[in-house]
């Protein structure tokens, strides 16, 4: 039986580093948009929808 390399083990456990970076960038962009805008909407159909309005 073939032993897995360290990179292959990491991919099995938590996915690739590229996918992790993409998720962090998307979350950061959403949080930045919420903080900087006075009103707006972030929506992922059938999963999440967030609306806000600042006075």
Do 49 and 31 contact (CB within 8 A), yes or no? no
pTM beyond 0.95: no
The pLDDT tens digits of the residues spanning 35-55 come to: 888 888 878 788 888 887 876
At 25, is the pLDDT very low, low, confident or very high (cuts 50, 70, 90)? very high
Give the residues across from 41 on adjacent strands: 51
Q: Which residues contact residue 10 at a Cβ distance below 8 angstroms, ignoring those fewer than 6 apart? A: 16, 17
């Amino acid at each position: 039986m073939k032993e897995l390399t360290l990179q292959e083990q990491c991919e099995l456990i938590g996915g690739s580093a590229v996918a992790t970076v993409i998720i962090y960038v998307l979350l950061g962009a959403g949080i930045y948009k919420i903080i900087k805008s006075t009103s707006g909407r972030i929506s992922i159909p059938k999963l999440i929808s967030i609306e806000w309005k600042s006075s």
